[in-house]
Structure 1
Amino acid sequence: MGLINKIFDKKAAPLLIAIYVLLFVAERRRKLRKPTEPLTKRIVINSIVAVPAFGLLRFVFLPAMVKLTLKNKTYGVGYLLPLPSFLRLICTFLILDYGNYLWHVLNHRVPLLWRFHVVHHTDLDLDTNTALRFHFGEMIGSVFFRGLFVLLSGATAKEVLAYELVFEAATQFHHSNMKLPAVTETYLNKLIVTPRMHGIHHSINKDETDSNYSVIFSFWDRMHQTFKINPYQNHIIIGVPEYRDAKQMTARYLLTMPFKKL
């Protein structure tokens, strides 16, 4: 898997770290929502939860996706519809991103999947650090579902790794607490998911949580009528109604939460 080391480890990972640092600084200077919990405590907890998930991303998920691309030489959209490289890349990105929209919806609607995804939503604040807070069980499940869309897309290994870079960067961006000019964000979320848009998805109000599932391109929500942008950010309470006790949300509790009675 030298390709992963060459593209992801040496190029994508440093770039993602740089993006994280820039967003972290930016959201300290221009806050979209007022924080409710100590930042240092959240960084420690979310980082601990992230370690096994990121380990699986690097050593299980990415190798599995790259290995699946070897089968794309015989079928998949990229094989069935020979396209110029630029159009092929666009087509691949759209198929992979639509797969992630559907995967996110399933994480909210299938009880077994929600057990793992709820760990992400229990953060009482929403910022770049929340983008780290994913349970390793969710990563395991994504191998099978997202792998299906790798096969459907006919993506090459380089296209899969390129998409993963954009996917991770977009996740950091739309989880950030960075306040963009309202006019700028209005134009941006016609195409991509923005902090205000995703902030609504993290609301304790179920009608708001059940909206804005997109990861990179926002038009999937518009297409499926799950798009919502109306609530004011200062009216949104972040989190899950049943998990409002910050003292309970330790790293150990979050890692074992899916295996307990919710």
Structure 2
Amino acid sequence: MKIMFPKFDKVGMPLLGIAAAVLFVAEAKRQLRRRTRPKIERLLENGSVAAAALPALRLLLLPGMYAAARQASRYEYGLLRWLRLPRWARNVAGFLLLDYTNYLWHVLLHKSDLLWRFHNVHHSDLDLDLSTAWRFHIGENIASLPYRGAAIALIGVPAPLVLFYEVIFEGAAAFHHSNLRLPYPVERRLCRVIVTPRMHGIHHSIVARETNSNFSVIFSWWDRLHQSLRLNVPQDEITIGVPAYRNPQEQTPTHLFMLPFERQRPWQLPDGTVPEREERHPRQQLLP
């Protein structure tokens, strides 16, 4: 299985590094939500989780997805090949379908009790910023390989497009997890097409119906298509995290690594109350 991708490593990774550096500075200067925990502590915690997860992403998930695309190409397998589309149409359709299947994967992470155990590590962060974009349990990255590989093969995505999409995917995740306050009129227009920090901040709310919305990664169209879009929550009213995991002392790298293997707590605060919020209408109107 091929594991060396010169263009990805020499072009894509540096571009992602530059984007991350810009977002890191920008979110410090234009903060969207007030922090609840010391920044350095969270960087160390989230960095420790990422130190295990990112190598699995680069050395297992990415080569596995690329191999699935190569095998589909070798046997002329996949929807896009059966349709005999021209190359440009295959690339456009492939990119969109990759993003759509990742929307469905994100929904599955929330609906499956088993997968949620691993995804809970990401959501239990008590703040939301750039570092949260890399706070994924290594088990979640490994578990995503069969799904994402199968999706790539069934679609018939060209192998180079897999690498290109992954760069955009990672860049989009860094952007919408960031704590960057964009001008409200700008973000209101942006979120009609792509996922933005305000939109994704709602997804990390401790209110269950808000967490179970806004599953898209790059394009916000998929939430609109499936009526899972929710924009009507002001950012200063959002409490980030999972209600049963509010203790900062449990945010240690060891505990986060073991979290999927422990009994999962019900969706309620330590005092037993379930977080709720009065519904505002319309749901699709972005609030500051």
Q: TM-score range by the shorter chain?
A: over 0.9
Overall identity of the aligned pairs, in % = 50
Q: How does 1:54-69 map to 2 (within 5 A)?
A: 54-69=54-69
Tell me the C-alpha RMSD between the 2 structures: 1.2
What is aligned with 1:117? 119
- 1:189 partnered with 2:191: yes
Query: For residues 42 and 207 of structure 2, what CA distance do their matches in structure 1 show?
Result: 22
Aligned to 1:180, the other structure's residue is in SS state coil
| Alpha-carbon offset, residue 246 of structure 1 | 0.7
Structure 2 residue runs without a partner (length 5+): 265-288
Bigger Rg, structure 1 or 2:
2
Letter in 1 for 2:229: F
Task: Please give the alpha-carbon distance, in whole angstroms, between the structure 2 residues aligned to 1:260 and 1:108.
Answer: 17
Which AA in structure 2 matches 1:54?
A: L
2:2–2:63 Cα contact (<8 Å) kept: no
Residue aligned with 2:5, SS: helix
Q: Are the equivalent residues in 1 in contact too, given 2:91–2:158 (CA < 8 A)? A: no
**Contact 1:77/1:153, CA 8 A, preserved across alignment:** yes
Question: Given the alignment, which residue of 214, 217, 229 partners 1:215?
Answer: 217
CA offset at residue 2 of structure 1? 6.4
SS in 2 for 1:179: coil
Q: Distance in 2 between matches of 1:76 and 1:4?
A: 25
Q: Would you say the 8 A contact 2:2–2:67 is kept in 1?
A: no
C-alpha distance in 2 between matches for 1:117 and 1:61: 16
Specify the alignment match of 2:35 in structure 1: 35
**Number of the residue aligned with 2:156:** 154
The verdict on how the C-alpha distance between 1:3 and 1:56 changes in structure 2, with shifts beyond 3 A counting, is closer
| Structure 1 equivalent of residue 277 of structure 2 | none
Deviation at 1:82, TM superposition (A): 2.4
Q: Tell me, yes or no, if the aligned pair for 1:72 and 1:79 is still in contact at 8 Å.
A: no
Moved more, 52-61 or 166-175: 52-61
CA drift of 1:3 comes to: 7.5
Letter of the 1:218 partner, please give it.
S
CA distance in 1, matches of 2:233, 2:188: 14
Q: How does 1:171-182 map to 2 (within 5 A)?
A: 171-182=173-184
With structure 1 as the length reference, what TM-score do the two structures score? 0.97
